[in-house]
Amino acid sequence: MLPFSIELKPGLPIAEQVIFAVKKAVVGGQMKPGQPFPSVRIVSQELKINPNTAHRIIAALVAEGVLITTPAVGSVVAEQTAGDRQERASLLGADLEQLVVEAKKLGLTLDEVQAGVAAQWKKLGRK
């Protein structure tokens, strides 16, 4: 069983959906620092995806600092460091741009987008 929940949706790249689900599980506290992450084989079998895709997912999570991979140990959830808040916020740049573009396509106002973001923030239990 995977340590994160996901419901794959058609039309969106599987890798992006899985990466988002893992990040959400880490931010939401479902996955704790130091917790082992499943191997490429387990991820590919559980999600019924190509092992190359599972490898790309884990590699992307390592590159983004969500996971740490150690030879002979495997991958574990990385410690989340306090770091510079502005630097961490800049990591959201592309995702925020995509959110704004999609919101504008839908004709949403800034207030509606902010309300939606606030609702999602509360769902994750962050103050």
* Domains parsed from the chain with CATH numbers: 14-77 (1.10.10.10), 85-123 (no CATH)
pLDDT number for residue 84: 40
Q: What is the pTM of this model?
A: 0.68
Choose from 27-31, 49-53, 72-76 the range with maximum mean pLDDT: 49-53
State how far the alpha carbon of 108 is from the alpha carbons of 14, 69, 93, 104, 111, in Å.
27, 41, 20, 6, 8
Q: What is the DSSP string of 20-41?
A: HHHHHHHHTTSS-TT-EE--HH
Residue range 1-12, pLDDT digits in tens: 899 989 888 888
Residue range 10-27, pLDDT digits in tens: 888 999 999 988 988 887
